[in-house]
Structure 1
Amino acid sequence: MPNEQHPCSRWKGPPSGLYKLNSDAAFQGRRLRIGGILRDEEGVAVVTYCSTEDGKFDVAVGEAMAMRSSLKIAMEAGFRNFILETDNIRLFHHLKKASSPPCYFGRLVKDILTLSRNCQSCVFSFVKRSRNGAAHSLAKLSFSFSEYRVWLEEYPPEIQGVLCTDIENLMI
């Protein structure tokens, strides 16, 4: 079973050799907005991602969709050492316990757990919503595009302020 970390109050960089993947979902009517960001121990964005999905989804389902999509993209970019961080406590608990209930949310949890087993290192972590700003900003930004977007070793300029704040917090 993958390791887990306890809740923290602010975005914190991963230990050397690991990458932290934050994901988030935002909702507007019948559209789900998804954002994900993979950063190194210095807070540098190595992969950023955003997309939208049509349909009305439960919050936990949207959060699980965001994590699954972000993890797939980070793995496709060649990364395999992660701390997966979410601000959804329900998703965190199911991942930590490796339990997937018999519903659509459970299938998404199972997908994430299956993907995580293909990693060299995968740790699940919970963070307060107020400290998941970069991923949330990417989710909100997703409506600016007609299809999903991925940035490698860069990020959209709209999230620069949030990333600067996170990096400043690392220095405290």
Structure 2
Amino acid sequence: MGELDRETIYGLAKGQSLWTKCCSKQETNCKSLRVLRPEQGPHRQDSSSQWQPLPSSVCKINFDSALFMKEQRAGIGVAIQNENGLIMVSSSQQIPLPGTVVEVEALAARKALELALDCGLDRVILEGDCEILMKTLQTTSKSLAQFGKIAEDIRVYASMFQDISFSHVRRNCNSVAHSLARRAILSPHFLVWMENVPPDVEPVFQADLRSLP
């Protein structure tokens, strides 16, 4: 599928669910998914420099940000992949430039979980290359940093998954999300691609796919 049409983008802005669109080609599997509150807190995973095979029915969510200082804007990118590394949904969004780099990363992480919930996913691994943010999310203590309120929002979203873990990865393992964040300067809209990435990010995704063991 390609880029969502204006009607769907409007629906996203109004908070409507991506469930039916996200599951159009995976209806059998998606019907069994449900959003449950986990009995335990999120798991921690250490930094990784290569793809780690995922357990069955677990999706990997990568997020990243990009700064456009001249325009006083920032971009956030999200890529959600299934256990085989194939794209389920990807997104790119341009936002006003926050005060700190970590704030932009936190906003990207929050958007990533919003998107995953809209798709009806309930077992996920959230991966990002901002070590400060990921270490914060791997703890249960409140953060007094400037991005603390956003981190609390992320924890609220995390509680809506049946199973979730937070993993810090190196930049080379986050290239698709980073490319999606950088392309946000091209459009002021929140753009979503179902089971695909935009054409200009496709070479990055294919290179990432070829690197899988």
Give RMSD over aligned pairs: 1.3
Residue 3 of structure 1: aligned partner: 43
The match for 1:106 among 136, 142, 148 is 148
| Cα distance in 1, alignment partners of residues 82 and 53 from structure 2 | 7
Q: Which segment drifts farther, 96-105 or 141-150?
A: 96-105
The match for 2:167 among 107, 125, 133 is 125
Q: Assess if the C-alpha contact under 8 Å between 1:80 and 1:119 holds in 2.
A: yes
| Cα distance in 1, alignment partners of residues 53 and 207 from structure 2 | 13
| Cα distance in 2, alignment partners of residues 143 and 59 from structure 1 | 17
TM-score after normalising by structure 2: 0.76
| Cα distance in 2, alignment partners of residues 83 and 66 from structure 1 | 15
Structure 2 counterparts to residues 1-80 of structure 1, below 5 A: 1-29=41-69, 30-80=72-122
Residue 165 of structure 1: aligned partner: 207
Identical counterparts, % of pairs:
32
Post-superposition offset of 1:81: 1.2
Residue 83 of structure 1: aligned partner: 125
| Cα distance in 2, alignment partners of residues 91 and 98 from structure 1 | 13
Per-residue deviation, residues 33-67 of structure 1 (Å, max 9, x unmatched): 10000001111110101101113431111100001
TM-score after normalising by structure 1: 0.94
Unaligned residue ranges in structure 2 (runs of 5+): 1-40
Structure 1 outlier segments of 4+, above 6 Å: none
Residue 15 of structure 2: aligned partner: none
Number of matched residues?
Answer: 171
Tell me, what secondary structure is at the counterpart of 2:200? helix
| Cα distance in 1, alignment partners of residues 55 and 195 from structure 2 | 19
User: Does the alignment pair 1:134 with 2:176?
Assistant: yes
Residue 21 of structure 2: aligned partner: none
Q: Assess if the C-alpha contact under 8 Å between 2:98 and 2:104 holds in 1.
A: no
| Cα distance in 2, alignment partners of residues 159 and 69 from structure 1 | 19
Unaligned residue ranges in structure 1 (runs of 5+): none
Greater Rg by CA: 2
